[in-house]
């Protein structure tokens, strides 16, 4: 199906253009017109691929989530098999943070989408479902590690899941250059060490 493939490719190219606009000019400038200019297509062509700004933003956000997911999968393949639960969680968390250029783009896209979703019911549903699915995956990993004896069963899996996800709160510190990537990694490792310690 070459036509469908082409359609998907064009949508991905537009999503990349949107990320660049968000990263370089900011969310308020991410209009259909500006994205068309950045993607080097006419506004009419852009509208052929996305009927509305909301559908364009949603595709770009979901594509960002897929890209993050692919990076996680790629990193996991490089670990000893089967990977230790601690290493899996470390990869998941670090790929959500803006620690390298590709993750920068997806992290900013995500932050902007959440902000926009707060006052747009359509985007809100999408953002909520995405975040809930991500949260479920992390909770599943933690429950498995508890069942496998790697995390103490004294822990509350729901609380530990929320604490793992809260590590994305290092993002503004990194983005504004208040801390260096090494400091973020040290904090993540400290948190994981405690989570996987047999004691408390």
Residues that bind a second copy (CB under 8 A): 23-28, 108, 111-112, 114-120, 124, 127-128, 131-132, 135, 156, 158-160, 162-163, 165-173, 175-179, 183-184, 186-187, 190-191, 194, 197, 199-200
Sign of the CA dihedral 147, 152, 158, 163?
negative
Query: Between 24 and 81, whose beta carbon lies closer to a second copy?
Result: 24
Smallest CA-to-CA distance from 129 within 112, 150, 113 is with 113
Q: Please tell me the distance from the alpha carbon of residue 107 to that of residue 105, in angstroms, as a whole number.
A: 6
Could you tell me the smallest distance in angstroms from the CB atom of residue 79 to a second copy?
24
| Contact criterion met (CB below 8 Å) for 161 and 142 | yes
Q: Shortest approach of a second copy to residue 10 CB, angstroms?
A: 25
Instruction: Give the chain's count of helices (H) and strands (E).
Output: 10, 0
**How far apart are the C-alpha atoms of 35 and 16, rounded to whole Å?**
9
- Please identify, using beta-carbon distances, which residue of 76 and 187 lies nearer to a second copy: 187
Rounded to a whole number of angstroms, the minimum distance from the CB of residue 154 to a second copy is 11
Nearest 5°: phi and psi at 137?
Answer: -65, -45
As measured in angstroms, the least distance from the Cβ of 96 to a second copy is 9
Taking the least distance from each CB to a second copy, the nearer of 120 and 144 is 120
């Amino acid at each position: 199906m070459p036509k469908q493939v082409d359609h998907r490719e064009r949508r991905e190219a537009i999503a990349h253009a949107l990320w660049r606009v968000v990263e370089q000019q900011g969310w308020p400038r991410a209009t259909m017109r500006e994205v068309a200019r950045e993607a080097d297509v006419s506004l009419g062509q852009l509208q052929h691929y996305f009927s509305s700004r909301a559908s364009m933003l949603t595709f770009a956000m979901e594509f960002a989530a897929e890209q993050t997911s692919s990076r996680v999968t790629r990193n996991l393949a490089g670990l000893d098999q089967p990977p230790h639960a601690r290493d899996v969680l470390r990869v998941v968390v670090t790929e959500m943070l803006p620690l390298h250029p590709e993750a920068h783009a997806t992290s900013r896209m995500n932050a902007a989408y959440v902000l926009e979703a707060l006052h747009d019911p359509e985007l809100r549903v999408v953002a909520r479902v995405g975040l809930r699915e991500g949260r479920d995956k992390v909770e599943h990993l933690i429950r498995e590690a508890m069942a496998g004896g790697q995390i103490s069963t004294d822990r509350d899996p729901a609380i530990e899941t929320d604490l793992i996800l809260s590590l994305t709160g290092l993002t503004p510190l990194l983005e504004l250059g208040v801390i260096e990537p090494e400091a973020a990694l040290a904090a993540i490792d400290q948190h994981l060490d405690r989570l996987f310690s047999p004691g408390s």
